Structure 1
Amino acid sequence: MVHFTFASEVFRWKPDQAWYFATVPEDVTDAIRSLPLPPKGFGSVRVRVEVGASRWETSLFPDSARGCYLLPLKKAVRTAEELDEGATAHVTLTIRDV
C-alpha cells in the first residue's frame, strides 16, 4: 500500500458553492502521478482518507489550474473535524489501486 501524509488549507471551490477541497501538495501529486495506476474517469485516483478521527473513501481529482490533485471534503467530515474554510486539514491518503 502507498500512503502519503500532508497538511493543506481547506478552501471553497467558489464562494456561492458548497464544495470544499484540500489541495494535494505538488510533491505528493508528482509521486502519485508516477505510480502505475489504471486509468479512471477525468484522471481521478481512488483513495482512502484519514483526517483526524474521520475515515472514508473518495477520489482525488486533477486541477489543471493548480497543477495538483484536489481532495473533496464532504460536509460530514468538515463538521466532525471542525474544518471551516481556511482551516488546516491534516491528511493521510492511501492509494487504493496500487
Structure 2
Amino acid sequence: MDITFTGRVIEWRGPSPFFFVPVPAEQSADIREVASMATYGWGAVPVEARIGEAAFATSLFPKEGAYLLPLKQAVRKPQKLAAGDEVTVDMTVRL
C-alpha cells in the first residue's frame, strides 16, 4: 500500500524528545484496513518512508485511532526539520 500525505512535524516531550508526523485521518483509516496483515505486535505497522531526499524504514505508532510516523534525528538533521515544519511524506506499508 502506497500513501502520500502532508503534515506538520510535532514534538513529544518525555524523558527524551521524540518527533513525529501525524498521519491524517483518511490515510490512517486506509492503514487500519491492512494493519492486521502488517503489524508485528502492539499495533505498530512497518513502513518505508521518504521525506525529501531521506528514505528510511520505521514503524508507525498507533495513537487515538490514527498513526504517528516517527522521525529519527538522522532524517531530521540533514533536512533541518523541526517541530512545526510542514513535510510531504511518501510511504509504503510493508506487508
Relative to the length of structure 1, the TM-score reads: 0.88
The answer on whether the counterparts of 2:38 and 2:94 sit within 8 Å (CA) in structure 1 is no
Q: Distance in 2 between matches of 1:39 and 1:77?
A: 23
Give the counterpart letter for 1:56 in structure 2.
F
1:39-70, Cα deviation, whole Å (9 max, x unpaired): 42110101000000000101001012xx2100
- Aligned-partner Cα distance in 2 for 1:69–1:51: 17
Normalised TM-score (structure 2):
0.90
How many Å separate the matches in 1 of 2:28 and 2:94?
15
CA contact (8 A) 2:50 2:89 kept: yes
Q: Secondary structure at the match of 1:86?
A: coil
CA shift, 1:89, in A, is: 1.6
Q: 1:60 to 1:39 in 2, by over 3 A?
A: closer
- Cα distance in structure 2, aligned partners of 1:69 and 1:39: 12
Counterpart-to-counterpart distance in 2, 1:87 and 1:41: 30
Give 1:38 deviation, angstroms: 4.1
CA distance in 2, matches of 1:79, 1:12: 14
Letter in 2 for 1:78: R
Amino acid at match of 1:48: E
CA RMSD of aligned residues (A): 1.5
Structure 2: give runs of 5+ residues left out of the alignment.
Answer: none
Which deviates more from structure 2 when the two are superposed, residues 85-94 or residues 14-23? 14-23
- Aligned equivalents of 1:13 and 1:41: distance in 2? 22
Name the structure 1 match of 2:19. Answer: 20
Larger proportion of helix: 2
- The sequence identity of aligned pairs, in percent, is 36
The number of residues matched between the two structures is 94
